[in-house]
Amino acid sequence: MLSRQKLIAASALIAVAATCPAVAAPEFQTPAPVAYLQDLSSGAILYSKDADRRMPPASMAKMMTVYVAFQMIKSGELKLDTKFPVRPETWRAWHSQGSTMFLSSGENVSVEDLLKGIVTLSGNDACVVLAEGISGTESAFTERMNRAAAKLGLSNSHFGTANGWPDNGVTYVTARDLAKLASATIQDYPDLYKRFYSLRSFTWGKTLGGEKPIDQANRDPLLGRVSGADGLKTGHTDEAGFGFTGSAQQNGRRLVMVLAGLGTSGQRAEESVKFMEWGFRAWQAKPILAKGKQIETAEVQLGTSNKVGLVAPSDLSATVPAGTAGEMRLTVSYDGPIKAPIKAGQHIADLVVVTPGMPAERLPLVAANDVPQAGFFGRAWAGLLSLFGA
């Protein structure tokens, strides 16, 4: 199959007239050694600072544990009301190591409560109990984590523990990979994400005297401080510093942010709020293409039709600096001709949006209709035509 990207781009070029001069991307300064911000609505990367540096994730690794659990719940392999035991040896190892759910040795705990203990309380003990309950051992579960990470394209990440506890560098991530993991969690499992990630607090276990239950607040620094904030996960060890992967949605725009390597929890909270608010305030969405609207056609090979319409799967917008109309250039890009069969709604091309001073944004385009594969004689005729360049 030959690349037809240049040909299609040339024929489908659309210039959007500027109504004012282009404005440079607004600046943001943060003391965080690592920072990353992406607008999921357009795919635009709004800020990137050492985003591909390998680093220890601390408890942000628990996002991968939760993603695997969500995957199993959706497929029916795991049920929320299934209960797993807290083995005495697991309790001895984790009841006082870092953040804890305050599980008790020998008790049986549901998957739902363990997930709340992981997401809301950052319980190291809850992570290991869940991992052992699912796979028998934590190491077997981390193999599953790494398989899931590979399928998500987290090419710069590896997991040696279920909870992110320091392990001499075996576990590492990058800010870009953490943002990709957060995005996949939100987009692949929206109902489970909503159910677990925005809880303000969770109560489990009892005080030493056994008189009253222990209520712990969610450590998410955006909840209650940034409108639309609904997840995800903080992390801290001496090695990693204070980090946070967070998300919020306002007026149809969803942003995902990562900060890492900060010095204190207070600094993490302050910088996280500033970073997310800057993302919403300094940038705006510019509508490009309405859902279902056709912008071009793509060539089809060995189909009952030699072309298929390219349409927007949803309302498509680009992200541009606030207060500017700017100038945009749009091109349609795909590798083709595309072999039949093609299903309506199949992602087969991209709309590439270029705004001055910004990296290119790629928005998905899908097939407008089914294109079945041609019968034998149709394919033979198409082959003859291709020999003569027809």
Report pLDDT for 360. 85
Q: Which tokens go with 264?
A: 């204190």
**Domain 5-21+287-387: CATH class, spelled out:** mainly beta
* 194 catalytic per annotation: no
Q: Which tokens go with 192?
A: 């489970």
* 62 catalytic per annotation: yes
Percentage with pLDDT > 70 across the chain: 87
CB 47 within 8 A of CB 25: no
> 29 CB contacts (<8 Å, ≥6 apart)?
none
Please tell me which residue, 379 or 87, carries the higher pLDDT value. 87
Q: Which tokens go with 385?
A: 């035509």
Instruction: Assign 376 a pLDDT band (cuts: 50, 70, 90).
Output: low
> 121 CB contacts (<8 Å, ≥6 apart)?
99, 100, 101, 202, 204, 216, 218
Q: Which tokens go with 379?
A: 């394919």
Residue-wise pLDDT for 131-171, tens only, equals 999 999 999 999 999 999 999 999 999 999 999 999 999 99
CB 14 within 8 A of CB 330: yes
Tell me phi and psi for residue 195, to 5 degrees. Answer: -70, -35
> 182 CB contacts (<8 Å, ≥6 apart)?
63, 231, 232, 245, 247, 256, 258
Residue-wise pLDDT for 23-64, tens only, equals 456 789 999 999 999 999 899 999 999 999 999 999 999 999
How far apart, in whole angstroms, are the C-alpha atoms of residue 224 and residue 202?
16
How far apart, in whole angstroms, are the C-alpha atoms of residue 388 and residue 201?
70
Q: Catalytic one among 41, 42, 99, 122? A: 122
Q: Catalytic one among 59, 157, 198, 333? A: 59
Helices 111-119 and 124-135 cross at an angle (nearest 10°) of: 140
Report pLDDT for 385. 54
Nearest to 331 by CA among 284, 293, 288, 287: 288
- Cα Rg, the chain, nearest whole Å: 24
Mean pLDDT across 312-319: 92
| Annotated domain spans of the chain | 5-21+287-387, 34-281
Report pLDDT for 369. 96
Tell me phi and psi for residue 313, to 5 degrees. Answer: -75, -20
Q: Which tokens go with 190?
A: 């929206």
Please tell me which residue, 8 or 180, carries the higher pLDDT value. 180
Mean pLDDT across 327-336: 87
Q: Per-residue pLDDT for 12 more than 70?
A: no
Mean pLDDT of the chain: 89
DSSP 3-state assignment of 169? coil
* 122 catalytic per annotation: yes
Tell me phi and psi for residue 27, to 5 degrees. Answer: -85, 155
Residue-wise pLDDT for 236-271, tens only, equals 999 999 999 999 999 999 999 999 999 999 999 999
Residue-wise pLDDT for 186-212, tens only, equals 999 999 999 999 999 999 988 766 678
Residue-wise pLDDT for 70-101, tens only, equals 999 999 999 999 999 999 999 999 999 999 99
Q: Catalytic one among 41, 42, 49, 62? A: 62
Tokens 């695997």: give the residue.
68
**Domain 34-281: CATH class, spelled out:** alpha beta
CB 338 within 8 A of CB 305: no
Please tell me which residue, 78 or 357, carries the higher pLDDT value. 78
Amino acid letter at 312? A
Report pLDDT for 329. 87
Is the peptide bond prior to 337 cis by the omega test (within 30 degrees of 0)?
A: yes
